Amino acid sequence: MTSKIKLLLKTAVSLAFFFIIFSQADVGQALEQFTRLPPSFIIYALVFYTCLQWLSCIRWQIILSSSGQNLPTSRLMQSYFAGMFLNIFLPGAVGGDVYRVFHISKEIRDPEIALVSVFLERFTGLVALSAIAVAGLVPAFKIIGRWDIVALFFGCVTALVGGTLLIANPYLLRLTAPWLKKLRLTNITARMARIQTLLYQFSQHRQALALSAGLSLFLQFAIVYYHYLIAQQLDISISFLELLVFIPIIVVVTMLPISLGGLGLKEGLWIYLFVRVGNSAEEALVLSLVITAFSWILSLPGAIILLRNSAKQMTSRDSLAQKSLPNDLG
């Protein structure tokens, strides 16, 4: 199946979800509630999330430092924001990560370390999310009590923990290698083996490992709190513990490559989860819209960074062309 057909199918899935959402929720009411947010809170929320991005860059900087590479946080922030902007248009977070690898490899002149640093920065976040998901098992059973949400959450916890162990544990990889081979995923086995070697090397840097793990746990809880903060401002009666259950579900399900960057699928999930615990579809929709809108606003500096870098590359190519012109004429 060609990439164009895949893109069309994902777009169709996203549009289908939006059609269902528009038929189930009062979009006008959700948008009206969105416009009532005071400017002071919008600024506060954007600054809050920017601080989380800054902490993510510090985590990335710690990982790079363990490999002997030292880059200022400002450079990493530029790469992070540019990746955020690209993720608006590209499925999942892959496009942004590819750009980050490309950008940092030019800075440090070492593509392998650039790739490993981006992967490890993502992986420590995955481990932290897995830990939080496990911690959310108790509120999932006691507070929510809906068998379908509990089953969905348990499946997501299993996927998170299983994926983390598969990435980190050589024995599990050897155990699953024959099944991956049957599925014609031998290349993944080889890549995972290489990643495990790199993870082992990174684990020898105990201080860097402890700092990045601690930051990852703090960041994941802060992201849940960020959602809770916005929900409270919107007068949505949802608890922090309920969000502790919902967010891992949203993250894991929207990782599935079945829609365009999770659009439509994410909103549909929020509505499903909210309605099951007694909230309205409009409340779920406005929360999802606000989170997405804030993310897009925060990514705008990334567009400026990409344009500036593109202009620099064009200037550099023009300069090289002018230097080579006399030789060509001669």
pLDDT in tens, 119-153: 778 777 877 877 777 777 776 676 666 777 778 87
pLDDT at 330 over 50: no
Query: What are the two backbone dihedrals, phi and then psi, of residue 110, each rounded to the nearest 5 degrees?
Result: -145, 90
Rounded distance between C-alpha atoms, residue 70 and residue 80, angstroms: 16
Q: Which of 145-159, 220-234, 261-275, 300-314 has the highest mean predicted lDDT (pLDDT)?
A: 220-234
Closest CA to 132 of 149, 155, 154, 157: 157
Question: Please, are residues 236 and 283 in contact by the beta-carbon 8 Å criterion?
Answer: yes
pLDDT band with cut points at 50, 70 and 90 for residue 28? confident
Spell out the domain ranges in the chain.
43-298
Rounded distance between C-alpha atoms, residue 254 and residue 151, angstroms: 17
Rounded distance between C-alpha atoms, residue 93 and residue 262, angstroms: 10
The one-letter code for the residue type at 314 is M
Average pLDDT over residues 161-190: 71
Question: Please, are residues 123 and 60 in contact by the beta-carbon 8 Å criterion?
Answer: no
Strands (E), 2-156: none
The one-letter code for the residue type at 51 is C
pLDDT at 276 over 70: yes
Query: What is the DSSP-derived secondary structure letter of residue 67?
Result: T
Average pLDDT over residues 73-90: 83
pLDDT in tens, 278-294: 888 888 888 988 998 89
Rounded distance between C-alpha atoms, residue 21 and residue 17, angstroms: 6
Q: In 3-state terms, what secondary structure has residue 68?
A: coil
Average pLDDT over residues 253-276: 79
Task: State the pLDDT at residue 232.
Answer: 93
pLDDT in tens, 200-235: 777 777 788 888 888 988 998 999 999 999 999 998
Of residues 196 and 36, more confidence is placed in 36
Task: State the pLDDT at residue 329.
Answer: 42
**Runs of H (alpha helix) within 109-142:** 111-135, 137-139
